[in-house]
C-alpha cells in the first residue's frame, strides 16, 4: 500500500473520516454558538462570556478547536498535494510543497495552542 | 481490452490498456495529464467544488484573525466593545462579511458533500441540481449576512 508521509493519518480512508467527523463537530459548535447569540433576549458581554463559561462548553469548544485544526490540515494537505507538485511546478515542486506545508503546519499548531488557551480559560 | 478507446474532454484520447498499466509498473508514463485547467469546461459542479477549496483556504488563512477576535471579545467588557467597534468601520466590515460568506458557503457545500457521501444526489442531474442549490442558498445567506452587518 502506498502511504504519504505528510497526510494526517498516513491513510486516505482515515483522513477522509477525520474530515467528515471534524466537519460535523464544527457544524454542531457553530450552530450552538449561533443559537446562543440569536436566542439571547439581550446580547452583550455578560451573555457572550456566559455562553463559553460552563465546563461542558469549554470541553465542547476545545474539541471544536482540535477538529478545526485537524480539518484544516487535511484540507491544506489535499490542496497542496494537488497543486504544488512537480507536474505543475517542475523540479522545485516537492521543495515548494514541503516548505508551504511546514508553514501551514506551524500556523495550524499555533492556532491549536492559542485556541485551547482562549476557550479552556474562558470560565 | 486493448483497442477499446474512449475520449474525455479533459484528457483527450487514451486507451483502457494504458489505464490498466497505471496499477502496474509504469505509473507515471501511463497517466493522462492535462495541466491547463482553463482549456477544460467548467460545469456548475466544478465551480462549486473549486469554490469550496478557495473558501477553505481563505478560512484557513483567517484562523488567526478569528481567534484574535474571540480572545479580545471574551477578555473583558472593554475588549468586547472594541471587537464590536472594529466591525463598525467600512473596510473591516467588508472583510468580516467576506469571511462570513466564505464560512457560510463552505458549510453549505460541505453539507452537500456529506449528503453525497451517504448516497444522496449522486447522479449527474441531482449533482447539478445540488450544486445550483448550494449557490442559491449561499447567495441568500450572503444577502442576509450583509443586512445584519450594514
Residue A18 lies in a domain: yes
Answer yes or no: is A4 within a domain. Answer: no
Check if the beta carbon of residue A65 is closer than 8 Å to that of residue A115: yes
Q: Do A45 and B81 touch (CB under 8 A)?
A: yes
Closest CA–CA distance from residue A23 to any residue of chain B (Å):
8
% of residues, chain B, pLDDT over 70: 79
Which domains does chain B show, CATH number per domain? 5-39 (no CATH), 44-149 (1.20.1300.10)
Least confident stretch, B29-38, B50-59, B92-101, B122-131? B29-38
- CB nearest to B114's CB, from A20, A48, A119: A20
Is residue A7 domain-resident? no
Contact A20 B56 (CB under 8 A): no
B58-114 pLDDT, tens per residue? 999 999 999 999 999 999 999 999 999 988 889 999 999 999 999 999 999 999 999
Question: Is A5 contained in some domain?
Answer: no
Residue A110 to residue A123: CA distance in whole angstroms: 22
Q: Is residue A67 part of a domain?
A: yes
Q: What is the pLDDT of residue B41?
A: 84
Cα distance between residue A90 and residue A99, in whole Å = 15
Q: What is the per-residue pLDDT across B6-28, written as a single tens digit (0 to 9) for each?
A: 434 444 444 444 444 444 455 55
B chain contacts of residue A112, beta-carbon cutoff 8 Å: none
Mean pLDDT in consecutive groups of 10 residues from the start of chain A, 123 residues: 76 92 97 93 92 95 98 97 90 95 98 96 70
**Residue A3 falls within a domain, yes or no?**
no
Q: How far apart are CA B16 and CA B5, in angstroms?
A: 6
**Full residue range of the structural domain in which residue A54 is found:** 12-120
CA distance B138 to B150: 18
The pLDDT score that the predictor gives to residue B3 is 39
Is A106 within the bounds of a domain? yes
Cell of B132: 445550483
Picking from A75, A77, A100, A109 by the largest number of B CB atoms within 10 A of its own CB, the best residue to mutate is A75
CA distances from B16 to B3, B31, B32 (A): 8, 11, 11
Q: Give CA–CA dist A69/A76, Å, rounded.
A: 10
Pairwise CB contact (< 8 Å): B60 & A20: no
Identify the pLDDT of residue A81.
94
- Would residue A85 count as lying in a domain? yes
Number of folded domains that form chain A: 1
pLDDT of residue A5: 81
Amino acid at each position: 500500500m502506498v502511504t504519504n508521509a505528510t497526510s494526517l493519518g498516513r491513510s486516505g480512508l482515515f483522513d477522509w473520516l477525520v474530515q467528515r467527523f471534524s466537519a460535523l463537530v464544527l457544524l454542531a459548535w457553530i450552530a450552538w454558538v449561533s443559537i446562543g447569540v440569536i436566542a439571547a433576549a439581550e446580547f452583550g458581554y455578560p451573555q457572550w462570556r456566559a455562553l463559553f463559561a460552563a465546563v461542558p462548553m469549554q470541553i465542547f469548544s476545545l474539541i471544536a478547536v482540535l477538529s478545526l485544526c485537524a480539518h484544516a490540515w487535511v484540507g491544506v494537505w489535499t490542496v497542496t498535494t494537488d497543486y504544488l507538485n512537480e507536474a505543475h511546478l517542475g523540479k522545485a515542486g516537492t521543495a515548494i510543497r514541503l516548505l508551504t506545508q511546514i508553514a501551514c503546519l506551524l500556523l495550524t499548531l499555533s492556532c491549536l495552542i492559542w485556541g485551547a488557551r482562549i476557550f479552556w480559560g474562558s470560565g | 481490452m486493448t483497442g477499446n478507446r474512449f475520449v474525455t474532454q479533459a484528457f483527450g484520447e487514451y486507451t483502457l490498456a494504458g489505464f490498466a498499466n497505471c496499477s502496474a509498473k509504469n505509473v507515471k508514463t501511463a497517466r493522462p495529464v492535462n495541466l491547463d485547467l482553463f482549456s477544460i469546461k467548467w460545469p456548475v459542479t466544478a465551480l462549486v467544488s473549486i469554490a469550496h477549496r478557495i473558501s477553505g483556504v481563505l478560512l484557513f488563512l483567517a484562523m488567526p484573525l478569528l481567534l484574535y477576535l474571540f480572545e479580545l471579545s471574551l477578555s473583558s467588557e472593554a475588549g468586547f466593545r472594541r471587537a464590536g467597534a472594529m466591525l463598525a468601520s467600512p473596510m473591516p466590515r467588508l472583510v468580516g462579511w467576506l469571511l462570513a460568506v466564505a464560512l457560510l458557503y463552505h458549510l453549505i457545500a460541505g453539507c452537500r458533500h456529506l449528503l453525497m457521501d451517504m448516497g444522496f444526489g449522486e447522479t449527474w442531474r441531482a449533482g447539478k441540481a445540488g450544486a445550483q442549490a448550494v449557490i442559491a442558498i449561499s447567495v441568500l445567506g450572503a444577502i442576509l449576512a450583509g443586512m445584519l452587518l450594514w
